[in-house]
Every structure is written in structure tokens, then in C-alpha cells.
Amino acid sequence: MLVKVFVLAAFIGIVISLGSALYYLLHDKSRSPRTAKALTTRISMSLILFFFLLFAATQGWIKPHGIRPAPAQQKKAPTK
């Protein structure tokens, strides 16, 4: 449960940082260091989240299931 809360908080923080970068990009007249700082923060938070998920998977806190196609159902050929 705690892992889910951390991941959700990290996603919310990433989206807020991305939104603030967009705001600074649109409202500052010249190139602003605030835009670069907000984007750097977003990248840092994304990397921290990625490495946390790797660590959580190695510790067994989360169980990655992967993306697998559903098994194809075999059709029986009609008998003659």
C-alpha cells in the first residue's frame, strides 16, 4: 500500500513539474532558467521513480507481470 502511495505521489509531482515548466515557457518573455529548472526537476523525479520501482521489484514489494498477449484459442478443424 505504501509503495502505491509513493508511486502516485511521484506521478502527481512529475505532472505538476511538467505543468509549471509549460507555464514558465509561455509566460516568461525570454528564455527563463525557471523553465529549465522545472524540466530538470521532472527528469530527476522520473529517474528516482524508475530506480525506486526497480528496487521495489528486487525486494519483492511489487510483482511485475509484464505484457503478454492472451493465449490464442485453437479452433478445432471440422471432422469429415
Closest CA to 5 of 61, 60, 54: 61
Q: Is 67 within a domain?
A: no
Question: In which band, very low, low, confident or very high, does the pLDDT at 73 lie, cut at 50, 70 and 90?
Answer: low
Q: Is 34 within a domain?
A: yes
Among 9-18, 21-30, 38-47, whose mean pLDDT is lowest?
21-30
pTM (2 d.p.):
0.73
Whether the per-residue pLDDT at 57 is higher than 70: the answer is yes
56, 18 contact by CB (below 8 A): no
Residue range 39-55: average pLDDT? 95
Q: Which range of residues forms the domain containing residue 40?
A: 2-56
Q: Is 62 within a domain?
A: no
Q: Is 27 within a domain?
A: yes
